[in-house]
Structure 1
Amino acid sequence: MVTVVSCPTCSAKVEWKPENKYRPFCSERCKQIDLGAWAEEKYAIPAAPPKDPHEEE
C-alpha cells in the first residue's frame, strides 16, 4: 500500500514513493514556490529573543 500525502503548497494528493522526485510536493513548481517563501522569510520558527549577556540580572 502506497502512502498518500497532501502537497504542502497546493494540497493535491501525492503518492509517497521513490519515483516521485518532488515529494512531498506534487511538482517542481510547488517545490519552487515553497523555496521562495522560505527565501522571503514568510515562514518563521517562533523563539524568545536572546538575552543580552551584558545586561545585569
Structure 2
Amino acid sequence: MKCPICGKPASERYRPFCSRRCADVDLARWLRGDYRIPGEPAPDNDRDA
C-alpha cells in the first residue's frame, strides 16, 4: 500500500501513511476543509426568525 500523500510505501505504525508528517498533512487538510462532499448549501435559519 502506498501513502496517499507522498506515494512512499505505507508504515504499519502510521498506516495508511508512511510517516507522522504525512498523517499530519492529511489532518491539516481535513481541518481546513479541503476534503468536502459537494451538496446544497445549508438553509439560513436567521431569515425565518
- Give the TM-score, by structure 2 length: 0.71
1:14 deviates by 2.0
Match of 2:8 among 4, 8, 12: 12
Give the percent of matched residue pairs that are identical in Structure 1 and Structure 2: 42
User: Whose helix proportion is higher, 1 or 2?
Assistant: 2
- Give the TM-score, by structure 1 length: 0.62
Larger Rg: 1
List alignment gaps of at least 5 residues for structure 2: 44-49
CA RMSD of aligned residues (A): 1.9
Moved over 4 A (4+): none
Structure 2 residue 30 is the aligned partner of structure 1 residue 34:
no
List alignment gaps of at least 5 residues for structure 1: 52-57
User: Whose strand proportion is higher, 1 or 2?
Assistant: 1
